[in-house]
Amino acid sequence: MIDRFHPTSAEFKERVFNGGNIKGVIEKLDYIQGLGVNGIMLTPFYQTNGYHGYHITDYDKVDSHFGTWSDVNLLVQEVHKRNMIIVADFVPNHCHISNSLYADGKHKDWFLFDIEGKVKGFANLDFLPMFNTDNAEVQQFFIDRGLKLCEVGFDAIRLDHATGPTYNFWKTFNAALKKQYPNVQIIGEVWGKLDFKPRNPFRYFLNKLRYSAQEARQMEYIGILDGVFDFRYQELICNAVKTNRGLEGNTKLKRSITKHFANYPSVFQL
**CATH classification of the domain holding 167:** 3.20.20.80
Q: Which residue has the higher pLDDT, 16 or 242?
A: 242
pLDDT (0 to 100) of residue 15: 64
23 and 80, same domain (yes or no)? yes
Marked catalytic residue, from 63, 71, 155, 160: 160
Is 235 labeled as catalytic in the residue annotation?
Answer: no
Is 30 labeled as catalytic in the residue annotation?
Answer: no
Residue range 118-164, pLDDT digits in tens: 999 999 999 999 999 999 999 999 999 999 999 999 999 999 999 99
Residue 211 within a domain:
yes
Residue 46 within a domain:
yes
Structural domain count of the chain: 2
pLDDT (0 to 100) of residue 83: 98
Residue range 98-131, pLDDT digits in tens: 999 999 999 999 999 999 999 999 999 999 999 9
- Cβ neighbors of 24 (< 8 A, separation 6 or more) are 2, 5, 6, 7, 8, 9
243 and 110, same domain (yes or no)? no
107 and 233, same domain (yes or no)? no
169 and 100, same domain (yes or no)? no
Answer whether 147's CB lies under 8 Å from 117's CB.
Answer: no
203 and 229, same domain (yes or no)? yes
Answer whether 205's CB lies under 8 Å from 174's CB.
Answer: no
106 and 211, same domain (yes or no)? no
Answer whether 208's CB lies under 8 Å from 175's CB.
Answer: no
108 and 20, same domain (yes or no)? no
- Three-state DSSP at 111 gives strand
How would you classify the pairing of strands 46-48 and 227-228?
unpaired
164 and 127, same domain (yes or no)? no
34 and 147, same domain (yes or no)? yes
Answer whether 62's CB lies under 8 Å from 46's CB.
Answer: yes
Residues 164, 178: Cα–Cα separation, whole Å? 21
Marked catalytic residue, from 78, 189, 195, 235: 189
Residue range 183-210, pLDDT digits in tens: 999 999 999 999 999 999 999 999 999 9
99 and 150, same domain (yes or no)? no
Domain that holds residue 202: 10-89+134-262
